[in-house]
């Protein structure tokens, strides 16, 4: 079973994302939790129909079914998002955290982001996010 393979897995995964535009409608995401997470990680989604995405990176190192994800970083024209966390494929527990930081020189102050911390927790089958 896939669960058994993941729970005993070892390895690394590196995801690099280049520049582009991300639509600010979250219709492309079917999960309500992921829709909420998308909105929480993009507090300026209502000010434009898209976000200018500059780059992103995530590295996951898996040992005996436990993934350490660090760094998680993304940069848009207005925001830098950094994070890290863990995923335990045996218990399916998720513990991922992000900090949102406005970019200087774009007319945004730190106070314009009312909830600068976002967390995804719970399990793979029942994820929950907090802002």
Contact indicator for 7, 89 with CB cutoff of 8 Å: yes
Query: How does 76-86 read in b/e, with b if 16+ C-beta sit within 10 Å?
Result: bebbebebbbe
- Residue 67's CB is within 10 A of a number of other CB atoms, namely 20
pLDDT band (50, 70, 90) for residue 98: very high
DSSP annotation of 26 reads: -
Model confidence pLDDT, tens digit, residues 102-122: 887 655 555 556 678 999 999
Say if CB 83 and CB 96 are below 8 A apart.
Answer: yes
| 5-14, 15-24, 31-40: least confidently modelled range | 31-40
Q: Are strands 127-130 and 79-88 parallel, antiparallel or unpaired?
A: unpaired
More confident residue, 120 or 47: 120
């Amino acid at each position: 079973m896939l669960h058994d393979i993941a729970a005993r897995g070892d390895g690394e995964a590196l995801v690099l994302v280049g520049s582009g535009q991300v639509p600010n409608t979250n219709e492309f995401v079917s999960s309500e939790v992921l829709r909420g997470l998308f909105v929480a990680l993009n507090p300026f989604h209502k000010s434009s129909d898209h976000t200018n995405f500059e780059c992103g990176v995530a590295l996951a190192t898996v040992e005996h079914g436990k993934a350490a994800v660090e760094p998680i970083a993304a940069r848009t024209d207005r925001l830098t998002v950094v994070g890290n966390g863990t995923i335990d494929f045996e218990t399916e527990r998720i513990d991922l955290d992000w900090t949102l930081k406005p970019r200087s020189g774009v007319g945004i102050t730190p106070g314009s982001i009312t909830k600068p911390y976002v967390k995804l927790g719970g399990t793979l089958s029942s994820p929950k996010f907090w802002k």
